[in-house]
Amino acid sequence: MLNDKIKRDQLLTLQDLADFGEELLSDIRKLVNDHSKPIKQWLKSAEVKKMLQISDGKLQHLRDRGTIPFTKLGGVTYYNLREIEDLMNSDKVHDR
C-alpha cells in the first residue's frame, strides 16, 4: 500500500492506524535488537590497525615494547578490545 499513489478521496480507518502503529513498533524493536548485539571482545591485528590507524610496523613496535597487550593463539595475534580502549583512555606516557 505504501507504493500505491495516495488519493484525496481515500479514507484512513482506526484499524489502519492501529496496523501502522504495530508495524512501526515492530520495526523499532528490530532496530534496537540489531544495535544491542554484543561487541567483539577479541580483535585481530588488521582490526586494531584500522581502529588505531597505524601500520604493521607500528603495531609490531607497540607489541615489542609491551605498550599494547596481546595474546597469540594458533599463530594468530589477538587483542582485547577493552584493554586497547583502556590504554587509549589512560594518561599513560611511555619513554621514547
Q: Is residue 33 part of a domain?
A: no
In a domain, 70, yes or no: yes
In a domain, 54, yes or no: yes
Single-letter amino acid, residue 19: D
Q: What is the pLDDT of residue 96?
A: 54
**pLDDT at residue number 30:** 86
Alpha-carbon distance 59 to 49, whole Å?
A: 7
| Residue 82, in any domain of the structure | yes
Cell 586497547 locates to 84
Provide the residue range defining the domain that includes 78: 42-89
pLDDT of 77 reads 96
Q: Domain for residue 81, yes or no? A: yes
Instruction: Please report, in tens digits, the pLDDT of each residue of the chain (96 residues total).
Output: 555 677 777 788 899 989 999 999 999 888 887 766 667 899 999 999 998 999 999 999 999 999 999 999 999 999 999 999 888 888 666 655
Q: Is residue 48 part of a domain?
A: yes
**Number of separate domains in the chain:** 1
Reported pTM: 0.55
Q: Tell me if 47 is assigned to some domain.
A: yes
What is the grid cell recorded at 20? 501502522
Q: Does any domain span residue 31? A: no
